[in-house]
Structure 1
Amino acid sequence: MGNEYIETVIVGAGQQGCGVAGALQEIGREAIVFEKGEVGQRWAHERWDSLLVGSGNRSIRLPGWDYDGDDPFALPSGPQVAGYLRRYVRARNLTVRERTPVQAVEGRFGGSDDDVRFRTRLHDGGTVESRNLVAAVGGYAQPRKPILSCDIDSTIHQTHSSDYRNPGSLPGGSVLVVGAGISGQQIADELVDAGRRVFLSVGRHRAWPRHYRGRTIHEWMHVFSLYDDFVTAGADHRSRLPGLPVCGNRLGTAELNLGTLAEKGVVLVGSARGARGTVLTLEDNVIDIAEESALSLREVINKIDAGLRDRGFVAPEAATAPVVNLDVIAGFDTRLDLVRHNISTIVWCTGFRPDYRILPAHALDENGAPLQKGGILGALPGLYYAGLPDGDSLARTGLAAVADNGRYIAGQIHIDHVMRSRPSTSVIATV
């Protein structure tokens, strides 16, 4: 492959990259998407088998295409989401080159009037020059495990949630799940349901009810505009817990929190702080973590109740409000002997880190994180991000934000085109 030119290069063919490509096509702008794997790679191949998307089919929105099936409230699997994306790419005839990794992006070859502001180098030796570059690789590029994982004896099988598939894929014996966010709690729930002895090393998180007063939590989020609360961690993490709340088991059929897990027999242990061989050092914080999560659940229930009173809406009274049952939660020792408890496997549900090393160094800060504004605008003219958080809010990273993100970026690219090539044309009328 030699050198090519196209107005906009998009790196990544997940939902965000496909959304930008679709939005650009809507307004007649050309783009090409490079994907190191397949369209929807992570949804199709880097999620556990039983995972279902809690926001439901109706949250799948792409430019010019919303979910068109007959069950908008059903929870899709990862492969189903990937299937929707692939159908969208085919139906729109978007230009996506799968299995074409990007090696590096070089920036700024000329002035603001030049067509070429970026040169994208591909692993096959080809290069593509462009005026615009959209990085749609999100914040989930590299699985993250704590350094202490290196100090654990090699006889203990260690895997990350991105590589976990089902209980049968793990060696026999008890399992330690590290991390109490959505992945950690749902995987622990699946393992204990499969008859495995499970330990869960807790971390700070929020708990929300799956169902309350006759409606799902996602319906209440719509009724009372609670979405911002759902996706925003808050600047002061001492009073507000980070991350998306845990609000239902992996099948969307039951409540899920530390209390429900403890009732099933999951042993709750403190946050892992160190390791030596087969012994982990733990923080004595199980009860504190559980109390904080219980408070977060109580706060959202109070908001729903207050909204019903203030608006005069009719909803059935709850016989019992969902709670984190603190009565079944006990503290644990500050040491966990893996051999003594027959723990053969650790599943690290400790999140991911972004990887933007392909971008020009002057587009990143000293830690390699993108220099950006509002989660979209990059530090270089013509550089955009799709799927980054905006401050403390995760709203722009979700499925429901794909169409809005794509159309905003497409609008900025079109404004740039109009102001550069047709200065007498109104940008308001053309976007």
Structure 2
Amino acid sequence: MKERHDVVVIGGGQAGLVMSHSLRQHGREHVVLERARVAERWHSERWDSLTFQFPNYDIRLPGYRYGGDDPQGFSNYRDIAQMIEAYAAQIEAPVRCATEVVSLDAECSSGRLLVKTRSTTIEASHVVIATGPFQRPLLPSFAADLPAHVFQVHASAYRNPAQIPEGAVLVVGSGNSGCQIAEELCESGRRVYLALSRHRRVPRRYRGRDITWWFEKMGRWDAKIDDMPGRKQPVPTVLTGTHGGHDMNIRKLAGDGVVVLGRLLHAAGGKLAFAEDVEGILKEADSEYWNFFKAADSLAQEAGLNFPVEHRESAAIIPIVPIASLDLSKSGIRSVIWSTGYRYEYDWLHMPVLDARGAPVQQRGVTCCPNVYFLGLHWMYKFKSAILAYVSEDAAYLADRIAMSR
């Protein structure tokens, strides 16, 4: 006999827990299935010095708000993991830990959904997939072509400089993870090479307010994916909360000794080839940086915000000479850290809700399969859809849809 539930939520991170809270508000019976423990990826896939990218005052979930004595500070990832665990207990979420879902199918005769775990089969009227955007580490195919003696690790498994063998280190990717790891390695005295990817640069603070405050007032968090050409996600914005929060500037890293390279194209025979696009990538990032000040000053003037004026003069830019290739041995590179993102892992999802790349096909979490939903994806509906403090908006929307059903 099958176990039955009205709603099954798959994933016990912040998105799954907020979904649980929203369902409880509507009185809908449900269960949350978590493959390991609550907030597992926060616990096991972060490096030691990582801090949350938002100020403490912006740590909030429905029914919970940061109440510590350092609202302007930035919490270590361990504090965020513990907060999410405490939140699960606070809202009495019906979480089953160590319960991995191995398949999701639709029962042809009844149309009900079948969620299979390693120990049981659950029949559900609705399923919300809240497994998050960070699933399987993405490495380029040519990673396998690097010499066997080169230590390789994805950013999700990096912990600290002591983990990395002696010698120079190549960090691939200049998103949040790549920039912060390259900075940490450089500060530890390591010789660091950084292969760029496209990114946006912004100040950490401006005129007494954090960048996240400005983004909210500018309406950037509410930008919708449907308004983006081809529904294509913009390049990521680089932020860091380390050292109390500071501007992340790759040109400064170069001045500190990091060897900045273009995009890594391929590897063969112990040699690496790079695109000669360093200046193009950095000029794009610089343009975003200075455009932000214009937008912020315009907003302050229009809204009559009496903030102290802050002038930032553009420093002289020293061009970075492109390097087309590197010999791993001659450059002393003995380690590569892949900050190259993630891909979705929905091998267990036996329903036509994925595109050719394996990415969810949905509109604000709603799929073409009745009563199957996604939650907590990057740009699922808005820029803020996957941000901890804002995932509640999409969760409430889905809970309302579920509440209208029998």
Q: Matched residues in 2 for 1:273 and 1:233: separation?
A: 31
Q: One-letter code of the match for 1:311?
A: A
Q: Which residue in 2 is equivalent to 1:428? A: none
Structure 2 counterparts to residues 265-414 of structure 1, below 5 A: 265-321=257-313, 327-374=317-364, 376-390=365-379, 393-414=382-403
Question: CA 1:60–1:402 in structure 2 vs 1: closer, same or farther (change >3 Å)?
Answer: farther
Contact 1:136 1:385 in 2 (8 A): yes
What do residues 145-168 of structure 1 show as CA deviations (whole Å, max 9, x unaligned)?
111111111111110000001111
Q: 217-226 vs 40-49, which deviates more? A: 217-226
Counterpart selection for 1:166 from 160, 170, 174: 160
Q: Which secondary structure does the structure 2 equivalent of 1:344 belong to?
A: strand
Instruction: Measure, in 2, the Cα distance between the counterparts of 1:373 and 1:43.
Output: 27
**Is 1:120 aligned to 2:101, yes or no?**
no
**TM-superposed deviation, 1:94:** 1.4
1:135 counterpart = 2:129: yes
Superposition pairs of residues 39-50 of structure 1, within 5 angstroms: 39-50=38-49
1:256 shift after superposition: 1.0
Deviation, 1:392, is: 8.1
8 Å contact kept, 2:33–2:100: yes
Please state how far the C-alpha of 1:229 moved relative to its aligned partner. 6.2
* Counterpart position of 1:426: none
Q: What is the CA-CA distance between 1:225 and the residue it aligns to?
A: 2.9
Alignment partners' CA distance in 1, 2:329 and 2:227 = 37
Secondary structure of the structure 1 residue equivalent to 2:293 = helix
Q: What code does the residue aligned with 1:257 have? A: N
Contact 2:220–2:383 under 8 Å retained in 1:
no
Q: CA deviation at 1:73?
A: 3.0
The whole-number CA distance in structure 2 between the counterparts of 1:331 and 1:8 is: 56
Q: Which residue of 2 aligns with 1:64?
A: 63
Alignment-derived partner of residue 188 in structure 2: 194
What is the SS of the residue equivalent to 2:22? helix
State yes or no: 1:109 paired with 2:108.
yes
Backbone CA RMSD of aligned residues? 2.3
Distance 1:287 1:230, change over 3 A: farther
The question of whether the paired residues in 2 share the 8 Å contact of 1:279 and 1:338 is answered with yes
Once residues 230 and 148 of structure 1 are traced to their aligned partners in structure 2, the CA distance between those partners, rounded to angstroms, is: 35
Q: Distance in 2 between matches of 1:39 and 1:186?
A: 26
Tell me how far apart the structure 2 counterparts of residues 108 and 299 of structure 1 sit (CA, whole Å): 53
Secondary structure of residue in 1 paired with 2:273: strand
SS of 1:358's partner is coil
Contact 1:186 1:249 in 2 (8 A): no
Q: Aligned to 2:74, what secondary structure does the other structure show?
A: coil
| CA distance in structure 2 between the partners assigned to 1:254 and 1:301 by the alignment | 16
Maintained 8 Å contact 2:53/2:74: yes
Separation (CA, whole Å) in 2 of partners of 1:241 and 1:121:
33
Q: Is the 8 A contact 1:60 1:399 kept in 2?
A: yes
CA distances 1:220-262 after superposition (whole Å, capped 9, x unpaired):
223333434699994389xx99333113453443211111211
Give the 3-state SS of the residue equivalent to 1:361 in structure 2. coil
Q: Which residue of 2 aligns with 1:416?
A: 405
Distance 1:97 1:88 in 2: 15
C-alpha separation in 1, matches of 2:130 and 2:307: 41
| Aligned-pair identity (%) | 32
1:54-79 deviation digits (Å, cap 9, x = unpaired): 11233333233333434333322222
| Residue 429 of structure 1: aligned partner | none
1:142-195, CA deviations, whole angstroms, 9 ceiling, x for partnerless residues? 000111111111111110000001111111111100001111111111111111
- Residue deviations 1:276-304 (CA, integer Å, cap 9, x gap): 13210110011111111000101111101
Aligned to 1:157: 151
Change (3 A) 1:416 1:390: farther
Aligned pair partner of 1:263 in 255, 261, 266: 255
Taking structure 2 as the reference length, the TM-score comes to 0.93
Alpha-carbon separation, structure 2, partners of 1:260 and 1:231: 32
**Across the two proteins, how many residue pairs are aligned to each other?**
406
Query: Do the aligned residues in 1 keep the contact of 2:182 with 2:194 (CA within 8 Å)?
Result: yes
